[in-house]
Structure formats: structure tokens, C-alpha cells
Structure 1
Amino acid sequence: MAENQEINIVFASDDNYIQHAVVAMMSIRCNTSEENKLRFFVLADNIASANQEKAQASFADRNAEVYFIPVDDAPFADFFVSGQLSRTAYFRLKMAELLPPEVTKAIYLDCDLLVLGDIAELWTFNMAGQPLAAVPDYGIMASHKDWPRKQQTLSLRPADSYFNSGVLLVDVAAWRRCGYGQAVLDLAHQEDYQHHDQDALNKVFYGKWVELPLRWNVIPPIWNMFLKILRKKSFRQKALAARRHIAILHYAGGYKPWEYREIPSFNAAYYRYFRETAFRDEVMPRMDKRRRGRSISRQLWRLRIADFWQGILGNEEEK
């Protein structure tokens, strides 16, 4: 793997999520050669100066820098938001105009993930001249309900693919040149899409993106080995391989490790990197006791079943 590279990585965060973004940054730093300089750009929504200082202090003497780019959220005032989708999710669509002009390529990452592989491998991935690289969303593509709906609303064919927008390798220069970000924003604002900006990204970049290996965005349907994925042999083989060699563990959806400390198998790494940051003494938020109790039992059961299928089907694939 080539070293002595300068790698640009973009996050979008508000004050509530900045410590989780910094944990993600720390996971990158700990798994990438320090010969490679990391430049973290945070598209920031009112992040307290004290938290900005903690983020920057976390990487002192680590050949990494954290830059905060304030974003005015007023233009997004009438965009759809929910408990799982804040206005900061739309900030990434402005990255081409917000990033310094010398930045021509970047990796965008959601805040709720860990990078367990060498980010330099993702950075040097061959984009084949396309403006975007992303990981297919098997959770949606394997769904008997969601996939036909995506085909209808986004004019996709059954053989087409649909990507998850939590991990993106971006040709920033092409985005600037072609105005892709604004095109996605306009579409997300005009259309009543199920997955809002993610659907709009898939619509605008139809035929203009290249697939990343599944291990670079392992989402809950993969690490929980949902039955809908196991039923499809082509999905199953790739899902098993990705689960064995996770490069990015993405806590997408409602499951967050800071709310489920009792489940070590997928949370231990989060706390290991958390303790390396300047946020280590912070009190972590937790959900209410009744909801947490039900959720813990359900998630533990899912993981036990997933481990069972990994053992059975993994051995089957190796024969």
C-alpha cells in the first residue's frame, strides 16, 4: 500500500454527534500508517468551540488535522428531517463548494461508523473515471418491499444496483465541474422520496458510479445476516465475506453502540477508540431503560443467529 499520501476525509456533524465523528476519525488514524497524513474536514452545524478544541487535541502528534467548516443551515430549513435524518445530512451535498479549492478528491463518511481497515486502500480505489464510488445497499436490494419501490420511483431496472450513501469516494473536481451536489439537493427538495437525499443521489448518479467492495460499508442487514440477504446466493456470498473482513462497520439505523454497552461483540471497538480521544471523560448518552432492555435482548438474539449462519454457511462456501 502506497504511503506518504495526503488523504481528505469529510464528515458532517452538529454538536450532538461530534464526539462520535471523532471516534470514527480515531479509528481511521489507528488503522492507517502514520506515514499518510489525514485531513479531516467537518461540515459543522453550530459545534461548540470546546468540542472543536477536543476534536483537534485528539490528534496532536498523530499526523492528522481537523478542520471545521461552518455551514449555514438556513437554506435547508424546509428540507425533510426526522429522528434519524437531521439537516446536517444534506451538508455533504455542498462539499464541492465548501471544501478548499485544492481538494479535488475526498472520502465522505457518516459519523456513526468505525473504519477497521486501512483507509489508504479505499483512497486509492480505481474509480474508472466515474465521479462517485459507493457500496451497494443489500438491505434494500434484497427487500421484496423496498426494491420494487426503488425501481418504480427511481426508474431502476431489476439488474441495476442501489448504493448506501454513508460511505462515498468522491471526485470533488467533477462534482464542482458538473454541479452534481446542487442537482441532488434540488431533486431531494422537489421529490417525496422514501430515503430522501440517498434516493436523490442514486437518481442523479445513475450510470455514473462504481461499486466499492461490500466490506467498505457493512450495515446492520449484513452483520445481522438478515434472512432476505441469505436467500439470495449472490448476496449471501458477498455478505459472508464482508462480515468476515469488515473494513467499515456502519451503525446505520436505530442501533448505536453508545446506547448498547452491554453488547460487546460489535461495541468493544467503539469504546476502544473512544478512550483514545479527548472526549474520553464524557458521559455517553443512553436510551431509556425500558426501551434499552427490549432492544438489547432483540439485538443479542439477532447477533447469535447471525453468528450461527456465519458458521454454517461460511463452512459451506469453503467446501
Structure 2
Amino acid sequence: MNVHSIPTGTAPAKAKQRLGPIVFAVDAAYAVPLATALRSIAENNQSAWPLDIHVIHQAIGEETKRLIFESLPANSAVIQWHPIDTLSFASGFSTRPGVSRMTFARILLPQFLPQTCNRALYLDGDILVLTALEPLWNIDLGEAVIGAVPDYWLDNVVRGPGATGGHRVKRYFNAGILLIDLAKWRDERISERSLDYLDRFPTTEYSDQDALNVACDGKWKILDRAWNFQFEPTQAIARIVPEQRPAIVHFVTNVKPWKSGSLSPNVAFYDVFRSRTHFALTRWDRVRSGLKRTGSRLLARSTLLRAAWSWTKSAMRARASTSGRENAQ
């Protein structure tokens, strides 16, 4: 475990209940969104500095860790890095296209925190935090194991995990933001029960989210949707007046605002936070992304252009294949 911390002696006196630990689980491909999410948290939670951040990760190198840490305001956070060297326990489990296998790491989250921790806040990497998190952190969970926001789409189906296992749940939550009572999680054996579900239904459509919903069925508290506002591809944060903006925005689809050429209407809004990290886009990055975005829009509007582009790609592949055979002779 690596720790990036503020200089010794500069931490403020512990005068109130601390926010944290805040936990992420990401791989190296999520370095940019992780740095951006952390920047948004730090800027909107200055009263909670230094923030207690834990990152369960796979293959994030030391230089990338340094850049992520130095993307935050000075003295704003302590980051503890927890490598998960193997996800072999999940080798037989499937994920939807584009979903990292690191999604299964959150099932094991309590293993990476001290037994003395009685609460944790788990956040996915594809989020922005736009307000203080203390009101969320201090929610009374009562007898619930976790607090979560219903999944906007799957909760209406009610049978989220039922695609392969036939398990019906009372309500279905999105697992991207979880307020966790760690003692109850351990007592209820949520990790073990989730893994048992995945062992029985390894191709369940929404992977660990399905498993967690089954394990926590009837044991979770519904939180206000502002704490996990699940953005659709065409929704724009900038069009929401600041006073009505959600606390945590969650980019749940594959239309991610940090991807080059993204058609998300939130590219500029997201870039406000990213530009203040060590992963800010260069001028050329912006030009290249803009050109890709323009091309994607043209292709989306023109059947003829799409057909021409498809033919061009096929011709290029055929030419490369022919060239490869000739070179091999």
C-alpha cells in the first residue's frame, strides 16, 4: 500500500467528525477520470480537508499516482493506494462491453479498510461531485447495510438480477455511489453472499451490481437521487441552474465526457475540472477531439457518409492484409 499525504504537521486539529474514508476502485485506464473526480471532491469539500481517500487499483504506476495526487489542491487529501494484484477470483464472471473487471473489486471493499472503520463512502470513477458531501456522509442508515439511489432504468423492471438467475428484488439500486455501514456489511456477509451469487450466475447481465442487489435485498436505504444523478447521453449539466444541480453527477452510459471526440453535451463542463489537474488537455488534444466530434456528428446524420466510411475502412483493412501477405513472402 502506498500513501500520498500532506506534509507532517500541517493537518488541522480534529475538531469534528471526519468525512471519509472515500473509496474508489479503478484501473490504469481510469487515471484521468479519477484525478478529475478527486479534484471536484476537493474543491467542494474544503471544510473536510485533508480528505481520507482510498483507491483500490490495478496497474496504476508510481508516476501516475504522483500526477493524480499533485492534481489536488495542496494539503487537501491523503490518498492510500491499495493494489489488487489479481482479479482471478472473478475470472469466470462476465461484464458488459466497455466495463472494466475492476467493477468486481468493490465487492471486497471492506478488506481494504481498517476494522475500526464503521462507515465508508464508495464512488465510481465516472462522477463529478458538485457540492459538500457531509450531508450524505451523516445520513442515518438505521438498520440498513447501505444507502443507495435506485437505478433509473433497472429499478422499473424490479427484476434486475433476474435475467439469468430468476432472482427478484424489492427495489434495484445503482451501485456507483454507496454509503456503507461496514459493521453491518460484515455481519450480513455481503461480500460472501455477492460472490456466491456470481458463482451461481457468472453471466448475470450487470455483474457485481446484480450480485450486490441480491445480497442487500431489503437491507438498503433509498437516498435522494441528487446523490447519484445518472446522466443520459443527451442531458447537459450546464443547462441546469446552479441552485438545482445534483450533488453528484454520474456518467452512466458509454458516452463519457472525457473521451476524445465524445458527443456528450457535458464535455466543456467536465473539462473545467479536468483542466485543473495534471491531465489537462493540450491545444492539439482539443483540436483533435473537436475534429473527431465533428466527424462523428456528420456520420450520424448521413447514411451516405456512413456507407462511404464503412467502405473506406474495409478497403484499408483489405489493403493492409494484402500488404502483410506480400511482405511475408
TM category, shorter = 0.7 to 0.9
2:257–2:266 CA contact under 8 A, matched in 1: yes
**Separation in structure 2 between the aligned mates of residue 54 and residue 147 of structure 1, nearest angstrom:** 42
Change (3 A) 1:241 1:189: farther
Partner of 1:133: 147
Partner of 1:256: 256
Partner of 1:272: 272
**Separation in structure 2 between the aligned mates of residue 117 and residue 255 of structure 1, nearest angstrom:** 23
Partner of 1:198: 209
Taking the TM superposition and a 5 Å limit, the aligned residue runs for 1:1-319 are 5-59=18-72, 61-71=74-84, 72-142=86-156, 146-147=157-158, 153-156=166-169, 160-191=170-201, 192-221=203-232, 224=235, 244-259=244-259, 266-280=266-280, 292-293=296-297
Partner of 1:300: none
**Separation in structure 2 between the aligned mates of residue 290 and residue 264 of structure 1, nearest angstrom:** 12
Change (3 A) 1:173 1:14: same
- The residue type equivalent to 1:134 in the other structure is A
Change (3 A) 1:290 1:58: closer
Change (3 A) 1:137 1:26: same
Q: Provide the alpha-carbon RMSD of the alignment.
A: 3.3
- The residue type equivalent to 2:225 in the other structure is L
Structure 1's unaligned 5+ residue stretches are 226-239, 298-319
2:177–2:227 CA contact under 8 A, matched in 1: yes
**Alpha-carbon displacement from aligned partner over 1:20-45 (angstroms, at most 9, x marks no partner):** 11111111111113344311111111
Structure 1 window deviating more from structure 2 (212-221 vs 241-250): it is: 241-250
1:4 Cα shift? 5.8
**Separation in structure 2 between the aligned mates of residue 56 and residue 41 of structure 1, nearest angstrom:** 12
Structure 2's unaligned 5+ residue stretches are 1-14, 302-329
**Separation in structure 2 between the aligned mates of residue 35 and residue 155 of structure 1, nearest angstrom:** 40
**Separation in structure 2 between the aligned mates of residue 222 and residue 264 of structure 1, nearest angstrom:** 6
**Separation in structure 1 between the aligned mates of residue 118 and residue 298 of structure 2, nearest angstrom:** 46
**Separation in structure 1 between the aligned mates of residue 299 and residue 195 of structure 2, nearest angstrom:** 34
**Separation in structure 2 between the aligned mates of residue 167 and residue 129 of structure 1, nearest angstrom:** 19
- The residue type equivalent to 2:34 in the other structure is A
Structure 1 window deviating more from structure 2 (109-118 vs 29-38): it is: 29-38
Change (3 A) 1:295 1:107: farther
**Alpha-carbon displacement from aligned partner over 1:83-130 (angstroms, at most 9, x marks no partner):** 322210000111111223332211111111111121111111111121
1:10–1:42 CA contact under 8 A, matched in 2: yes
1:262 Cα shift? 7.1
2:232–2:252 CA contact under 8 A, matched in 1: no
Change (3 A) 1:274 1:17: same
- The residue type equivalent to 1:8 in the other structure is P
Change (3 A) 1:289 1:21: same
1:246 Cα shift? 0.9
SS in 1 for 2:21: strand
TM-score (norm. length: structure 2):
0.73
- The residue type equivalent to 1:218 in the other structure is F
Change (3 A) 1:288 1:101: farther
**Separation in structure 2 between the aligned mates of residue 9 and residue 78 of structure 1, nearest angstrom:** 29
Change (3 A) 1:149 1:207: closer
Change (3 A) 1:177 1:119: same
1:82 Cα shift? 4.1
1:154–1:199 CA contact under 8 A, matched in 2: no
**Separation in structure 2 between the aligned mates of residue 46 and residue 32 of structure 1, nearest angstrom:** 28
